[in-house]
Amino acid sequence: MSNFVKLEGVDLRYGGSNGVLALNGTDIEINRGEFAAVVGPSGCGKSSLMKLVTGLTPPTAGKITVAGQDVVGPLKCVGMAFQNPTLLPWRKLLSNVMLPLEIVQPHRRRLPAHRQEYIEKAKGLLKMVNLDGFEERHPWELSGGMQQRANLCRALIHEPDLLMLDEPFGALDAFTREELWGVLQGIWMEKKFTTILVTHDLREAAYLADVIYVMSARPGRVIATHRVDLPRPRTIETTFEPAFLEIVHAIRNQIAQIRDEIKAA
């Protein structure tokens, strides 16, 4: 596999030359079709990393490439999902899922003449996440878990090469969160889009990812890389297996050491 996302010596400073250094010398390589997770203590720059990779924020120093091209502005090949679904309350579910098609080219140009084709595609995604039959419901008629399923569909409707996930299940209860791990894994195994997941949940990272990057305290940099060589599809039963628990405990110990160093500083 070839590198699809690459960060080389990336620094990010907020507020000018005397401002806060959020990232310092960050190096990351993610292969095409790989599922990567980024974990670390609060304030380590995980969300800043999302802004950098998507081109929403330029780095202060270093180089970022996606699909072999330097990132110099907002990328069009990206789908994004956050902790809150941010579905538009006045739009029905199907219309919410199709929203990116009204914005992203070439879909925006094709949509008027190929609307039915796109409708069927959106319905197919909703069926994959067990939301068929809810196309005409408004978001406020759905549970939080159902809204987040629809949010995933919206992030994927325009077939992005890169999916960015920032704590997408953090606001959900434990059972719903674990259920959606399986949903996301199933979609990823079928579509194989490159994915970067930012999460505080180490079990979530180990369940979903091929590779986990552990970041230091601010200024953030990658201090460890863990390959998750567990067979797929993974299940909740997988999370009780010794190999899985070994990965989670190793990462937890690394983050605990970082937190102890912060307290001692």
In one-letter notation, the amino acid at residue 9 is: G
Residues 111-170: pLDDT tens digits? 999 999 999 999 999 998 889 999 999 999 999 889 988 999 999 998 889 999 988 888
Residues 55-99: pLDDT tens digits? 999 999 999 999 999 999 888 889 988 877 789 999 999 999 999
Closest CA to 54 of 42, 45, 41, 64: 64
Q: At what angle do helices 115-128 and 174-191 cross, to 10 degrees?
A: 130
Closest CA to 46 of 162, 216, 171, 182: 216
Q: What is the fold of 31-54+72-77+163-265?
A: Rossmann fold (3.40.50)
Per-residue confidence band for 222, with pLDDT thresholds at 50, 70 and 90:
very high
Closest CA to 172 of 81, 105, 252: 81
Per-residue confidence band for 218, with pLDDT thresholds at 50, 70 and 90:
confident
Alpha-carbon distance of 183 to 171, in angstroms, equals 17
CB 206 within 8 A of CB 248: yes
Per-residue confidence band for 254, with pLDDT thresholds at 50, 70 and 90:
very high
pLDDT score recorded for residue 201: 94
Coil, strand or helix at 96: helix
Structure letter (DSSP) for residue 39:
E
Task: Give the burial class of 185: count Cβ atoms within 10 A of its Cβ; 0-12 exposed, 13-18 middle, 19 or more buried.
Answer: middle
Q: What is the 3-state secondary structure of 165-231?
A: EECCCCCCCHHHHHHHHHHHHHHHHHHCCEEEEECCCHHHHHHHCCEEEEECCCCECEEEEEECCCC
Output the pTM of the full model.
0.90
Task: Give the burial class of 102: count Cβ atoms within 10 A of its Cβ; 0-12 exposed, 13-18 middle, 19 or more buried.
Answer: exposed
Residues 9-19: pLDDT tens digits? 999 999 888 88
CB 169 within 8 A of CB 204: yes
Between 76-85, 99-108, 162-171, 173-182, the lowest mean confidence (pLDDT) is in 76-85
pLDDT score recorded for residue 265: 61
Concatenate the DSSP letters of all residues of 123-166 into one string. Answer: HHHHHHTT-TT-TT--GGGS-HHHHHHHHHHHHHTT--SEEEEE
Alpha-carbon distance of 57 to 65, in angstroms, equals 14
In one-letter notation, the amino acid at residue 80 is: M
- The rounded percent of the chain whose pLDDT value lies above 70 is 99
Domain residue extents for the chain:
31-54+72-77+163-265, 83-160
pLDDT score recorded for residue 168: 86
pLDDT of residue 1 exceeding 60, the answer is no
Strand partners, 5: 30, 66
pLDDT of residue 260 exceeding 80, the answer is no
